[in-house]
Structure 1
Amino acid sequence: MGLRNPDNKHQDDPFGITSAAVALVDGHGLIRYWSQRAEDLLGYPAASVLGHPAASVLMSEDSPASALSAARRLSEGWEGVITARHRAGHPVELALRACPLSAEQGSAWLAVACDVSDARRWELDQAVVRGLLEESPIGIAVLDSELRFQWVNQALVTMEGLPAHLGADRAVAPTGPGQVPSAVDWQARQALVSGRVTPAVEHVPPPHGRFRRNAQGHLRLRSSFPLRDVGGRTLGVCHTAVDFTAQDRARERLALLNEAAQRIGTTLDLDRTVQELAEVLVPQLAEFVAIDLFQGVLAARDLTPGPVTGGTLQRAVHRSIREEAPEAIVPIGEPTQYPSMSPQRRCLATGRPILDPVLEPTTWWLAGDPQRLAKLVSVGVHTHLVVPLRARGVTMGVVTLLRWENPNPFDEDDLLLVEELVARAAVCVDNARRFVREHHAALALQTSLLPPVLPDHCAVEVAYRYLPTDAEAGVGGDWFDVIPLSGARVALVVGDVVGHGIHAAASMGRLRAAVQTLADLDLPPDELLARLDDLVLRLADEAEAATDGPVVIGATCVYVVYDPITRKLSVARAGHPTPAIAHLSEPVELPDIPAGPPLGLGGLPFESAEIELEEGSVVALYTDGLIEASDRDVDVGFERLCFALAHPDRPLEEICDTMVRILLPDHPHDDVAFLIARTRALAPDRVASWEVPADPRAVHEARDKTACQLAAWGLEGIAFTTELIVSELVTNAITHAGGPIGLRLIHERALICEVSDSSNTSPHLRRAHSTDEGGRGLFLVAQVAQRWGTRYTATGKTIWAEQQLPSGGSR
């Protein structure tokens, strides 16, 4: 074989008669024969040693005693290493074999020697050959030219299931047709015909005839090559086979882990995550899998770390290779009842997997239900594996795997692989659970910050929809509101905070509260947005200081004020889509309102516009999620919006449903909020107004006109308090502002008294001292009115006071 032979030549046996040093020693210890190889090895020619004692050659100056001992051993038959003396005087280590000979002339001994390095190299080569043929897992067979076994090692006997005597006796076994395995026969013939090595990879199917991952199949690398003598004549074929099924399964397991890393956890949807785990496990590792989660996981509640001894499990998903899945005894979504000693409960209590290679009625979870157990056995289930679904120290459920088509029971390798897959999936399930919990918290916060019920107002009839986004994007910051204003007016607002999550919901709540506060000041829409812009800038500065870094806080908003007396709509918007107006006799309009910058940029002005509406028109305010849903073009969104708002005479709830159906997909990717309002007009006979001269004597005339108007409205019961309010407000205007002065009474769900003047100075409520001659007017108004306030106009200001109507006096 020659492991160290660089020119790849055959190395002869160093003790062979043609290659070794040979000497014949007679019974007197004298050398009678000396070969040429002995002369080459020790330097002594035959003439100088024949007839001389062998000890004289074997004597070493370094160790004469060992040489004498070696000479004595020659007479006994011996094999070992000696040190001889070269003719040149240096010692030579020899591997020596000596055996006694008997002849008629007397006893003699044959000594065969070689250089010790050659002997050791030969021994190493022989050890390699023996190890390769007898101890290695490589199957080897030698076939003659008739393809009959001449020699076969035990590895191939075991691998191919050959007769045991072939491997045990190493006997020549002339086999008949069909007794050589087909794969061996085919490759051997190819090697004989082509004269070349013929390697091939073979899949050996399991006994049931179907190769499946992790089934009882084998993957083998076979190779056949011709055997030739020194003259090149073909003697037969050597066939080798290597079974690397285990290595291939390890590769498959790594591939499956890589596949699982890509397939499990693609979304933050909990149901989808457990479904992805089931799809990885079946059919690659099992024929059936059931994943049961605790109800606290499905409800996204906090869980206690550690093993679990109680709790209600619910079937989250199951998957089978059978379409009807007869082994799926518990339907999806139903609670699973496992006895206390079932593998599932024991697995949850200990936090460790349970590998049961045999389906034992005494240990199976259906021990208390023989009929269901019999049903499982009837479909062929023979083994199961139970693994806890745990992540970050929290146990969330249990995974059960069954096998019946794969005849192999689950083993330790399967257990390690399933544990790794389930552990990876458990982290994804926990991430989904945490995200759902945060999503619910943000949604609850946002819902609590939105108006629970919109106020019923005489100026408009309203309807709305708020549709939070799916769990992937997180809760946004959309909001809407309806705010009653003085003078029977109403404010409508829709806004959208940048971002998603709890931070966006909290920012939305602060902005909504700010809009309500600013609306109470009766600010015009453009001025209100300017104040709101300042607030957003301040919030951004606070957030940046708190987080020590830049923080983006921004919002868009549209603010509308509708006056049912004048039927005018005053609109301003800050980077928000323009309102849509559905007229009764004209097409749906998207008025060109100055866009204005989004809130939070600062320094840029806002503008407002006025639109006169006929009674019964429908005004729609909405966030951009409505028209940008499904990633379609915005123009398409506006067209669909106009289509949905057509026929504004329909009920508002019906219009809302139409907008959702036409404009939104099943799962919008952004929050959507919209508010629609049908305008109403206050009848002219419900409003009375007069010009009041800037003369103190005009106060009495204003009181009389007020009393007459209240009598016409049937409100004599509040005439006294109303005359008192009119008297004080008109007197205050005459005294501190001067003309022109206007008085207006509005009869709607409350009685509103308004006094306007040209002054921009706002009165303030104070408590007069006992020595003061004045200063008690507004104090009296505040005592008798339900609400009062001041709003500024382009020509001055208006002080208003509102009183509750007496029973039977409402419209």
Structure 2
Amino acid sequence: MLADAHADIPSPLDIVALAALIDGTTAGVGVLDTRLRYLYVNPALERLNGIPAAAHMGRTVSEVLPEVDAREDLMRAVLADGRAREITSSGRTPAASGTATRYWHGAYHRLEVAGRVVGIAGIVLEVKASDEDQRRLAQAQRHLNLLDTASTRIGTTLDMDTTCAELVDLVVPALADLATVEVFPRDVAPPVRPAPPGVVRLRRAALTAVPGLRGQLERFGGPGDYIDYQENSAVPRCLATNQPVVENLTSDEQLGRAAASPERVAAYRALGMHSAVIVPVAVRSRPIGVLGLVRAGDSPVFTDEDVVVARELAGRVAVDLDHARRFTHEHTIALELQRSLLSEPRPPHPHIEVATRYLPADRSVLVGGDWFDVIPLPDGRHLKAMGDVMGHGVEAAVAMSHYRSLLRLLADEELPPHRILEQLDRMVERSGLDRAATCLLAVVDRSGVLCEVSSAGHLPPVLIDPGPAGTWLGDVPAGPPLGTGFGGYRTTRLECGPGTVLFMYTDGLVERRGEDIDVSVARLSELSLPESGGLEELLDAVLERFGPGAEDDIAVMASRSRQVPGSGCVTG
């Protein structure tokens, strides 16, 4: 039948007779000429290849199946030396499973007629994995996908508890029915009480389970709880050896040996847990905590491959947790440095109320060049200052500390604000500081009705009057920034009513990309005192409204005077 369709292909073989002989065999059989072009394809090979027999005729294997490594080089060797060969090939075909890689094993023999080489014959069988091999292959693929996903889903922040939560969310239900991560308390928080002798205390950072088990999780404690593990239980054994501990919990005795305490056995049994893996989370052989995996109910026990994957995940998360821990440590140091450089100003007089906030734009850099200060002056007056040194980081903070120290020194000379800025500008220029700064000074007299203000390139203050005057921006001309040596500062007198709040800020509060700074500043005239009248509540409301989207550090200060009991006057 095939020879009739391809009568133009010369062949000394009797194709019709060949077809009658082997068309019915279940093995794939193909005959190729000396140029490796198909002369005959039986129905079984037609089905294997997923291509009609007619489409094979006169074409080579590579032309018919371009995505199959058919080893035509070995076929030519068979033609050349006559030695039969077995060939294993692989690739994809247009057959029903064409999206997956398939494997074939073939035996190839040289064909001769009357001593003349006329081609080769191949008998091909597809190699299929057993059900167990397929299961293992599918499991391996799931494990690889899990590890691949871990690189994008774990360690998205520098927060330890968030990283732990990302890990347990990844492994449930892909690897376990329940998962927990517990870390040593000293890495995240001080312990609530000393651990008894022989007890290992960990802090549960994350816990999750499949939906059918979540209702029972409260019996085990939630994130933030401290868990005490009895000596020789699974977790201390894991930490002592820095090796995974695998427990098949088929009896109460085994449950009791693995449990944190004997009291937990009933809870474990109610959960239906039958298999557990405890994996160390460690960096450079130094333990940070453990990853605990549990299977319950009808789930299979953990395999060696599961343990390998769990350990790989624990190793990856350990690096992320180490980074988070280091960040937390550096965060604390930076915060203490910022506090030491930018201490909260104390009210200079009992009748002065002050509230301040400092909010870094980059949470990884907690020191910067923004500062504020309130300095007492003779006769009940006081000097308020808000400044902003160019740049961020420790260098800007050190420059800010110099500015602040020089300002306190100059304040003792009882100069008007513009003269203080002039002196400060000259002193900064002589000192060699290479960072310019803006600064707003306000000297408030004891009467509380007069405020003298001068600006070195700083944004104007906002005055919030609790009475009918409302809120307005101070009309204060801005001179050059400090450190430029240009001078030319002026003092402006602003009259204030009793209880008027003077609000000062740095440009991080109002500067927004794509918006004119005058438009941003004008919105501050909409500020008003909260119903409570408190300055702390005022700053909370300001930062809630203007803080999101800030691209620079924000420093804000609100201050006002209170009536002095028995004096009958208000100072500010």
Answer whether TM exceeds 0.5 for this pair: yes
1:251-287 deviation line (CA, Å, top 9, x unaligned): 5444333322222222222222222222222222222
Q: Distance in 1 between matches of 2:491 and 2:401?
A: 27
Q: Distance in 1 between matches of 2:459 and 2:570?
A: 33
The one-letter code of the counterpart of 1:589 is: W
Q: Are the aligned partners of 1:442 and 1:501 in contact in 2 as well (CA < 8 Å)?
A: no
Q: Distance in 2 between matches of 1:575 and 1:359?
A: 76
The one-letter code of the counterpart of 1:493 is: A
Q: Distance in 2 between matches of 1:453 and 1:402?
A: 54
| Structure 1 gap ranges (5+) | 12-116, 139-195, 203-218, 224-229, 231-236, 302-308, 542-551, 687-746, 750-811
> 1:498 deviation in Å?
4.4
Q: Are the aligned partners of 1:449 and 1:509 in contact in 2 as well (CA < 8 Å)?
A: yes
1:573 and 2:455 matched:
yes
1:319 and 2:208 matched:
yes
1:278 and 2:175 matched:
no
Return closer, same or farther for 1:644/1:123 CA change in 2, 3 Å cut-off.
same
Q: Distance in 2 between matches of 1:561 and 1:296?
A: 47
Q: Which residue of 1 aligns with 2:478?
A: 595
Q: Are the aligned partners of 2:356 and 2:555 in contact in 1 as well (CA < 8 Å)?
A: yes
Q: Distance in 2 between matches of 1:359 and 1:517?
A: 77
1:395 and 2:284 matched:
no
SS in 1 for 2:478: coil
> 1:390 deviation in Å?
1.3
Alignment of 1:673-684 (within 5 A): 673-679=555-561
SS in 2 for 1:521: coil
SS in 1 for 2:208: strand
Return closer, same or farther for 1:501/1:255 CA change in 2, 3 Å cut-off.
farther
1:604 and 2:491 matched:
no
1:619 and 2:488 matched:
no
RMSD of Structure 2 on Structure 1 (CA):
4.7
> 1:539 deviation in Å?
7.2
SS in 2 for 1:382: strand
Q: Which residue of 2 aligns with 1:439?
A: 331
Q: Distance in 2 between matches of 1:614 and 1:10?
A: 102
The one-letter code of the counterpart of 1:595 is: A
Q: Are the aligned partners of 1:475 and 1:505 in contact in 2 as well (CA < 8 Å)?
A: no
> 1:340 deviation in Å?
1.6
Return closer, same or farther for 1:363/1:567 CA change in 2, 3 Å cut-off.
same
Q: Are the aligned partners of 1:342 and 1:363 in contact in 2 as well (CA < 8 Å)?
A: no
1:455 and 2:347 matched:
yes
The one-letter code of the counterpart of 2:446 is: P
SS in 2 for 1:345: helix
Alignment of 1:321-360 (within 5 A): 321-322=210-211, 324-327=214-217, 329-356=220-247
Q: Are the aligned partners of 1:357 and 1:383 in contact in 2 as well (CA < 8 Å)?
A: yes
Question: Bigger relative contact order, structure 1 or 2, given CA contacts below 8 A and separation 6+?
Answer: 2
Q: Which residue of 2 aligns with 1:292?
A: 182
Q: Are the aligned partners of 2:421 and 2:456 in contact in 1 as well (CA < 8 Å)?
A: yes
> 1:299 deviation in Å?
3.2
1:182-228 deviation line (CA, Å, top 9, x unaligned): xxxxxxxxxxxxxx9734279xxxxxxxxxxxxxxxx99699xxxxx
Q: Distance in 1 between matches of 2:422 and 2:242?
A: 60
> 1:640 deviation in Å?
5.6
Q: Are the aligned partners of 1:268 and 1:471 in contact in 2 as well (CA < 8 Å)?
A: no
1:542-574 deviation line (CA, Å, top 9, x unaligned): xxxxxxxxxx84543211112336943222223
**Would you say how many aligned residue pairs link Structure 1 and Structure 2?**
472
Return closer, same or farther for 1:341/1:595 CA change in 2, 3 Å cut-off.
same
Return closer, same or farther for 1:382/1:528 CA change in 2, 3 Å cut-off.
same
1:721-762 deviation line (CA, Å, top 9, x unaligned): xxxxxxxxxxxxxxxxxxxxxxxxxx999xxxxxxxxxxxxx
The one-letter code of the counterpart of 1:336 is: I
Q: Are the aligned partners of 1:445 and 1:505 in contact in 2 as well (CA < 8 Å)?
A: no
Q: Are the aligned partners of 1:573 and 1:606 in contact in 2 as well (CA < 8 Å)?
A: no
1:384 and 2:271 matched:
no
Q: Which residue of 1 aligns with 2:406?
A: 514
Q: Are the aligned partners of 2:448 and 2:497 in contact in 1 as well (CA < 8 Å)?
A: no
1:379-428 deviation line (CA, Å, top 9, x unaligned): 33222211111124432111101123673332332223222222221111
The one-letter code of the counterpart of 2:128 is: A
1:198 and 2:95 matched:
yes
| Structure 2 gap ranges (5+) | 1-28, 40-76, 105-110, 112-123, 192-197
Q: Distance in 1 between matches of 2:328 and 2:334?
A: 10
1:468-506 deviation line (CA, Å, top 9, x unaligned): 448834324333221112343210012234455555544
> 1:517 deviation in Å?
1.2
Q: Distance in 2 between matches of 1:423 and 1:241?
A: 36
Of 530-539 and 386-395, the range deviating more from structure 2: 530-539
Q: Distance in 2 between matches of 1:595 and 1:258?
A: 56
Q: Distance in 2 between matches of 1:554 and 1:406?
A: 69
SS in 2 for 1:409: coil
Return closer, same or farther for 1:479/1:299 CA change in 2, 3 Å cut-off.
farther
What percent of counterpart residues are identical? 31
Return closer, same or farther for 1:647/1:654 CA change in 2, 3 Å cut-off.
closer
> 1:582 deviation in Å?
2.4
Of 309-318 and 282-291, the range deviating more from structure 2: 309-318
Alignment of 1:55-454 (within 5 A): 124-125=84-85, 128=86, 198-200=95-97, 241-242=128-129, 246-247=136-137, 249-299=139-189, 312-322=201-211, 324-327=214-217, 329-356=220-247, 361-364=252-255, 366-367=258-259, 369=261, 372-404=264-296, 407-452=299-344, 454=346
> 1:620 deviation in Å?
1.1
Alignment of 1:488-637 (within 5 A): 488-533=380-425, 553-564=435-446, 567-583=449-465, 584-600=467-483, 602-616=484-498, 617-627=500-510
Q: Are the aligned partners of 1:2 and 1:122 in contact in 2 as well (CA < 8 Å)?
A: no
Q: Are the aligned partners of 1:539 and 1:553 in contact in 2 as well (CA < 8 Å)?
A: no
* TM-score, scaled relative to structure 2: 0.68
Q: Distance in 1 between matches of 2:438 and 2:382?
A: 20
Q: Which residue of 1 aligns with 2:56?
A: none
Q: Are the aligned partners of 2:444 and 2:452 in contact in 1 as well (CA < 8 Å)?
A: yes
Q: Which residue of 2 aligns with 1:144?
A: none
> 1:310 deviation in Å?
6.5
Return closer, same or farther for 1:358/1:221 CA change in 2, 3 Å cut-off.
farther
Q: Distance in 2 between matches of 1:286 and 1:649?
A: 52
Q: Are the aligned partners of 1:498 and 1:555 in contact in 2 as well (CA < 8 Å)?
A: yes
Return closer, same or farther for 1:487/1:654 CA change in 2, 3 Å cut-off.
same
Q: Are the aligned partners of 1:580 and 1:591 in contact in 2 as well (CA < 8 Å)?
A: yes
